[in-house]
Amino acid sequence: MTGKKRAGWISLCIVTLLAAICVQMAGSMLVVLPYSVYAGIQAAAGGNAADAMQSVMGNMENIMSIALVVVGILLLIVFVPWFYFGCGRPRISVESAKRVFAPQTLLVVVILAVGLNYGISCLLQMVYETAPQLMESYQELMESAGLGVNAWANAAAVILAPLGEELIFRGVIFHYARKAVTGMKSPKKAFWIANCIQALLFGIYHMNLVQGIYAFGIGLVLGYLCQKYRSVIPAMLAHLIFNGISTLFSGWMYSWIPESIVWYGLIAAVGIALVLATMLVNGPAVKENNQNIA
């Protein structure tokens, strides 16, 4: 494949990312703008702009939570047909269903999701303990979204986000990224280049430095699952478990850990080692003598 064609496929990856960001912005505006206009009308009628502004700020958590749901639904509306018709996805067969939902596959998915969650969460806690100023914007973002306390936000994070984001990044973008590396002599090298492209764009999509860094690592593991089992479903399940633990079950999942940076570091190392060991034992996503497809 020529360099011009490779650049074209990579450009399509970037276009897909920009489309997802535009849908995200449009969905947020569909919720925030009408409420802001309504508050402005009330302020004009009552002559008290301060009270109107206070009302908007007081309801910001609910507004943002509903916006997350609207964004999640819009992403599915846009990217379900894009994925299935634009990327030439085959129909789910009995053979593929057995491969994806085999007990061994589901066990691998659970281990990777739980290991990632413990590894990343404990690393974040270490950063918070040593340099809390680096975590301020991230903490504010999580609190403003209402994750863990607002039903709308929980539904968006645990259900809609894994479905939509996997279709976008491990579905459409990964498809284009694999096209960009078609023809490379080493299928393994081609896979990891394509995997890094989709994981990098996944990190950029979160538009937050802290989230972007760990989203890149998560994206690499989810890309491995997608390629290994030739389906986005294992990645969706792992993403759902990861977000479910963080959003709904972090209290009891982490309550047993002593509040010590040494313990956080130890558990983070064990979690990441568990992920790497599972991937190593489970085997490479692409064999040297196999075509680089998913």
**pLDDT-above-90 percentage for the chain:** 64
Please name the residue that has the structure tokens 């609190």.
Answer: 143
Contacts of 288 (CB under 8 A, 6+ apart): 186, 187, 188
Is pLDDT of 172 > 90?
yes
What's the pLDDT band for 294 if we cut at 50, 70, 90?
Answer: very low
Among all chains, which residue has been given the structure tokens 């009270």? Answer: 51
- 138, 210 contact by CB (below 8 A): yes
Q: Provide the token pair at 87.
A: 């990327």
Predicted pLDDT of residue 293: 41
57 band by pLDDT with thresholds 50, 70 and 90? low
Model pTM score: 0.90
pLDDT for residue 9 is more than 80: yes
- The C-alpha angle 179, 183, 188, rounded to 5 degrees, equals 85
Distance CA 30, CA 293 (A): 38
Per-residue pLDDT tens for 221-246? 999 999 999 999 999 999 999 999 99
Sign of torsion over alpha carbons 276, 281, 282, 287: positive
Residue 99's nearest CA partner among 255, 253, 194, 226 is 226
Residue 139 binned pLDDT confidence (cut-offs 50, 70, 90): confident
* CA 288 – CA 115 distance, rounded (Å): 28
Q: CA geometry: angle at 288 spanning 283 and 290, to 5°?
A: 95
Could you tell me the pLDDT band of residue 58, with boundaries at 50, 70 and 90?
low
Torsion, Cα of 212, 215, 220, 223 (10° steps): -120
> Is the pLDDT score of 121 beyond 90?
yes
pLDDT given for residue 131 in this prediction: 83
Q: How far apart are CA 196 and CA 187, in angstroms?
A: 14
Longest alpha-carbon distance in the chain: 73
pLDDT at position 129, please? 87
Helix (H) / strand (E) element for 117: namely: helix 103-130
Find out whether 221 and 280 touch, Cβ atoms under 8 Å. no
Per-domain residue ranges of the chain: 3-282
Instruction: Give residue 217's pLDDT.
Output: 97
How large is the angle between the packed helices 209-229 and 136-145, nearest 10 degrees? Answer: 70
Q: What's residue 292's pLDDT?
A: 40
Task: Assess contact for 230 and 96: CB atoms under 8 A.
Answer: yes
Mean pLDDT of 262-273: 96
pLDDT at 12 over 50: yes
Inter-residue contact 79 to 86 (CB < 8 Å): no
Answer left, alpha or beta for residue 230, where phi above 0 means left and psi between -120 and 50 means alpha: left
Q: What separation, in Å, do the N-terminal and C-terminal C-alpha atoms of the chain show?
A: 19
pLDDT at 81 over 60: yes
